[in-house]
Structures are given as C-alpha cells and as structure tokens.
Structure 1
Amino acid sequence: MPHWLRKSLVVMVTILTFGLVSPSQAFLYDDSNAVKTSKKDIFDASSEDKSVIDHSALADESVGYISKEEFISHMLMEAETQSYTKFGARIKPVIENEFTEVILPNIAKAIINVAAQYPEEELANLTVTESPGKGHSEKIFNISNEKTSEDIIRFHVRRDQPPQQGYWFNFHYHTHHDQFQTHHELGSIYWDKNTPPKWMS
C-alpha cells in the first residue's frame, strides 16, 4: 500500500472512529511482532515540521486563539517529544516503532477529545506543563490550563509484570473529570523477560 494512502487511512480511521471504537488489547498485542512502519508513515510532517514549535507562535495575534487543528498538531508533536525524552537512549530504540504505530494514534484520540471540550479561543491557554518523570515515575506529560493552573489530562506509562509474561509498558491517561482516578487505556508494549532500564537512562 502506498505510504500516502496508509497515512490518509490512519487519519480517517482516527477521526471517524473517535469515541465509537476502542481497540482491544488482543489487537494491540497481535501487532507487537508485525512489520513496523516508520514514524514518517504515520505522520507526514517534514523534518522542518518536526522541529520544536513555539506554542505562542501558533496563536493568531489578531484574535488570540489557535485553531483546533493547530492545537492537535502541536500537542501531538509535544507528546512524541516528551515520550521519547522519557524513554531515554536505552528504551527508545526498542519500542519506538510500536509506540508510533499503536500508542501515538490513541494519544491523538485523547487530545482530539480534549480539543473538542474547548472553544478555539480557549485552546491557546492549554499547554504542556510537566517534564517526563525519571526512574520509576509514571509521568510522561500533562496538559494544563494556564489561566486556572489546573491539569486537564495526565499521560502516564507504568511498568507491568504479569506472572510469567515478562515486562510490559502500559500507557494510559487520567482526566480532571474524576480527579484523575480512572485509568483510560492507550495500549501496552512488550519489553522483555529482563527488567527494563529506568526511564531517561
């Protein structure tokens, strides 16, 4: 399948199935040994687009807001950057492809859901506020409201070790709607039988 068609299908499926279909964990695990596509097959941003974007530069100075599309695009880039920073040099090369294929599209759905809850004139107030947590910390990043100084959504990754199954990285998020109590699953990635390195190592 051509790369451009694959990218288009991923975007269409993400948008059309948002809120309707949650991928089963079995589906996520079945793909763990499949041939992986590169990040460029999922996101068609050029290398220039991958550079760090100044959040304030996205805002339209004349009206003081950014569009939902700009917000989602910027937050996805932040999600990728913060995640790879957290993984560190030892974990990133092992799980990068699967993270891009399985987890990042689900993070995109969560961000789309956040964007849908706010009018465009308020999106410029939402920023990434947390640096990734080191060691055994679950934190990847938070999105918070600058005006209220309150977190809106928190993205985490937890190390799981089911009996006799080795180690898995469980990606999930929490929202302010229930005081960050519920785990909303984003998917899991298998590591190995051996203990994974600490985050950012």
Structure 2
Amino acid sequence: MSDPHIISAAVQEQRAAIVSQRDFENLYKQYAPFLLRVCQALCHDENLAADMMQEVFCSIWDRRTTISVKGSWENYLYRCAKYQYYNHQRSLSRFRTVQDSVFAASDESDDSTQEHIEYRELTHNVNQLVEQLPDQCRKVYQMSRGEGLNTAEISKELSLSEKTVKNHLTKALGFLRRNIEALFAFIFLIS
C-alpha cells in the first residue's frame, strides 16, 4: 500500500502550476464551455457571462506561474465564477451609488455649463484610457463603439477572426470598466 502523503503530493504537483502556453490553451479549450455556462447561470446575461469568463481566464494566465489548484478544475473555476460575479455586483452597486449621488447633485442645481464641463472631462478621461490600449485592441474598440461596426464587419475589415475581434473587445471593455470604476471611486471620494 502506498503512502497517502506521496499520492497527494503527486496530485498537487500535477496541478501546481500552469506554466506553458500550450497547457493554458488546453485548459481553456477543455473548460471554457463549462465556465461560460456557470457564468450565464449566475448573471443571466450572455455578454456579461463572456466577459466574466474572459476575466477568470485572464486572471489564471496572469498567475500561471504561481497558481495552485487543490481539487478539481471544475470546482476551482466555479468558485472563480462566483467571485467574479460577486465582484461585478459590488462594482455595479458602487457605480449606482456614484450615479445616484451625481444625479442628486445635478437635481439640486441646474448648472448645464458645469455638467457640460464634467461631461467633456469624463469623455477626455475615457479617450485617454482608450489611447492606452494596445494598437489592435484600440482599433477594434474604436470600430465597434465609434463607428458602430459589428464583429463580422470588423473581422472582415481588419482580416482577423471573429473570435480575435471578440477577445480584443472583451479585453478593451474589461480594461475600461476597471479604470472607469477606479475613476468613479476617486471622484466619489473627493466629493
């Protein structure tokens, strides 16, 4: 009979870290449909579920040299999806609080000049964030949001696969969402 500590160490060693890109790609191919279903069950929104799934896999990729998964990948990914959903709900709640306070302040004083200045400043800040995106990602975002093109049209114009276009959009929207939330949190703190 073998020593249970040796067996558990071997199992942990198998799951200790995702190092290679190939291992990560295999993990993505195997578990992306599962994770997408879990995210959709949590949020009931197809686009948000896809964003959440991408965030989970981006997080795994970012931590690929240090990640340690004890137990099954399904359980680990399920927990990640729940945390991603809770984080989204928390951010949404903060955003609504900031939005409510902005609307309440605007109701108190009808200062359209000030609102116009704030709108221009916010637009400027968003444009600065868009400029920080990688070139291809920025092009895809601008074509989607600025020109109103859909994924297929962008794919055709830039000679990219639709999946690549969707990945660029997900990356851009995630980056903008995180930074805009930070901007709103900062504005909320100073007001």
The normalised TM-score by structure 1 is 0.28
The structure whose Rg is larger is 2
The normalised TM-score by structure 2 is 0.29
